[in-house]
Amino acid sequence: MYNWNKLVKEYTNNDIIDNINNNNNFNIVNDYIQLNEQEIAIYNPSKKDVKLKYKNVYCVNCGEKGHVVKDCVNPITSFGIIAFKVINGPHDEIDDTNDSLKNILNKSETHEKQYPYVKFLMIQRKDTMGFTDFVRGKYPDEPNELQEVLPIFINEMTQQEKNDLLTKSFDEIWNTLWVNHESKCFKNEYEAAYKKFNKLDIPKLIQEFGHSTDFSYQEFGFPKGRRNMRETNIGCAEREFYEETGYDKSCYDFIKNYPIIHEEFLGTNGIEYRHIYYLVKMKSGIHPPKIDYKNKIQTGEVQNIGWLSYDECMYLIRPYDTAKKSVIQKVHNDIVAMNNNYICSNFYYTSKRSFQRQSPFKTYKPFYKSFQPKSI
């Protein structure tokens, strides 16, 4: 008999709980996942005689039914938007690059712009991926793997981030990493991250591996993010683009019939990632981008934003980020080939059909709304 008081704060139908506990076909603690207020997913790979009501479950990662995210065989998937505009002459030029970006670009050796040319909207991360994963403890515990991953994380960091690791306490770093202190990650990951952080000999790591690279700024990329429950691919891309740039769907048009853009790579943590982008053309007369420092959603992930030429984008994307360089090179060539003849639409249309995977996951809809495993 499992202690449901630890999992369910309030429930009214003990018959349901007794029925589940007495079944013994699955582990209550490990094999339940909450989908919404009225549905939970049951993992039962070998038993098929559970006398409960079932439905297919939904994977937040790939969007298909039949399995949940922890059993998804697809790469970790994010959805975003690549926005561009064409500068046809001096009359199209506006000051849409802030001083911080200009200071970074002053060191570049980009070619002199010739009209017409393409600009892309890019965002700069608040913290490098290496610094974020290092602080969150997103690395293996196995010693040999640890010795391979940690140097990569450190090499991705800026000099300031390395100095922060040496001079600041974990709590100071953690509080700065998460702008929104009400987020689940801020609360739920703290203890495990704190323990892993304090096991490391950080001065030794920085001394040994911290001099291989000398990045002065965080990575640049395109707005993107993970899907919410029951959110469509395009809905996720539009939401993430709005949250990170401040531009809603009234500011741009989709390029009709342009294929979905895929960026796939193996992360430094050994995990496969897939970024899916939609190509949009910004409408004329749209205000320059800016960071809204009152917006915690934006400032929690983005520290800078601006319109950049193709050469400037290639300069700012880090040398090891070859997948992103390939994506922007392909997209830029396609835009140039369109020769200012764009077929635009205010919505994205795709005829791709979805498919279902076979999986031991099923959904049980309880008879009472109060029956909710809230801690799962």
All domains in the chain, ordered by first residue: 1-57+360-376 (no CATH), 76-126+218-345 (3.90.79.10), 129-209 (no CATH)
Amino acid 290: pLDDT: 93
Amino acid 97: pLDDT: 87
Amino acid 353: pLDDT: 38
φ, ψ of residue 88 to 5 degrees: the values are -85, -20
Amino acid 7: pLDDT: 36
Task: Pick the range with the lowest mean pLDDT from 54-58, 59-63, 152-156, 254-258.
Answer: 54-58
Amino acid 350: pLDDT: 55
Amino acid 25: pLDDT: 43
Per-residue pLDDT reduced to its tens digit, 322-342: 999 999 999 999 999 999 999
What pTM was estimated for this model as a whole? 0.77
Task: Pick the range with the lowest mean pLDDT from 9-23, 36-50, 249-263, 342-356.
Answer: 9-23
Helix (H) and strand (E) counts in the chain = 13, 12
Grade residue 349 by pLDDT with cuts at 50, 70 and 90: low
Give the closest residue to 41 by CA, choosing from 14, 21, 61, 69.
69
How does the average pLDDT of the chain come out, rounded?
A: 81
Amino acid 369: pLDDT: 31
Query: What is the H or E stretch that residue 156 is in?
Result: helix 143-156
Grade residue 81 by pLDDT with cuts at 50, 70 and 90: very high
Per-residue pLDDT reduced to its tens digit, 124-156: 999 999 999 999 999 988 888 889 999 999 999
Q: How far apart are the C-alpha atoms of 370 and 205, rounded to whole Å?
A: 50
Neighbours of 164 (CB within 10 A): 18
